[in-house]
Amino acid sequence: MDIQNSLSHPWSVSLDEARQIQQELSEKIVLKDDFEKLERILGVGVVFSRSQDEVFVGCVSFLFPELEMVNAISQKQKVSFPYTPGFFAFSAGPAILSAIKKIESPDLIIFPGRGIAHPRKLGLASHLGLLLDIPTIACSKTPLWRDYPGLSAKKGARVFVQGEKGEFIGAVVRTKENVKPIFVTPGHKISIQTTVKIVLECSPRYRIPEPLRQTQILAKK
């Protein structure tokens, strides 16, 4: 997969420059379903070394909706932008993009972390989805929001979360009955409703969507 040349930018930048890049790119995010088929989903897993000077990336490709694993790769790379909350893509993005180039182009990618539920509406999934021009989703085990309405204990229960302007920026989703929910946000080229639907279809047995679960295992190895 190639990066859109018109949107490419340097990664080794200052915090102020990174913030400006995020603000400019966030204006280009599409939050409606902009794809015709969904036959192959890629999960991306990221683990930093203890010193945080290296990042380990795992990518696992699945057929959808069968969730049959078809390909997997992993690699490590030096980090040129120190890990900083709110700027995850600048630390891990180059390694992720390098790994994705080595695997067959997917129709959608599931990332860890955030999509548009981000201070500048450009979390990892939104940032890389925009550069790759592909639908993306973000899932987090860590709560992104503390205050949200009560959620049923049944699998499939969901509560949509609104931003400051009343727009939907994500959802709290119960992927397994009587188990803690996960926190889901659209990245790029996908609606919040379809985001939740795909996450549930990718979570037949476990709390974490299978493409993301397997890539996390691979990255940790």
Give per-residue pLDDT as tens, 28-87: 999 999 999 999 999 999 999 999 999 999 999 999 999 999 999 999 999 999 999 999
Phi, psi at 14, each rounded to 5° = -80, 170
Residues 91, 52: Cα–Cα separation, whole Å: 9
Domain boundaries, the chain: 6-220
Rounded to an integer, the average pLDDT of 93-100 is: 95
| CATH architecture assigned to 6-220 | 2-Layer Sandwich (3.30)
pLDDT of 2 above 80: no
CB 167 within 8 A of CB 161: no
Buried-state track 198-215, b at ≥16 Cβ within 10 A, e below 16:
bbbebbeeebbbbbbbbb
> pTM above 0.75?
yes
pLDDT of 197 above 80: yes
Give per-residue pLDDT as tens, 167-188: 899 999 999 999 999 999 999 9
Write the CB contacts of 124 (distance below 8 Å, at least 6 apart in sequence): 88, 89, 92, 93, 111, 112, 113, 114, 115, 138, 187
Locus of tokens 């490419």? 8
pLDDT of 194 above 70: yes
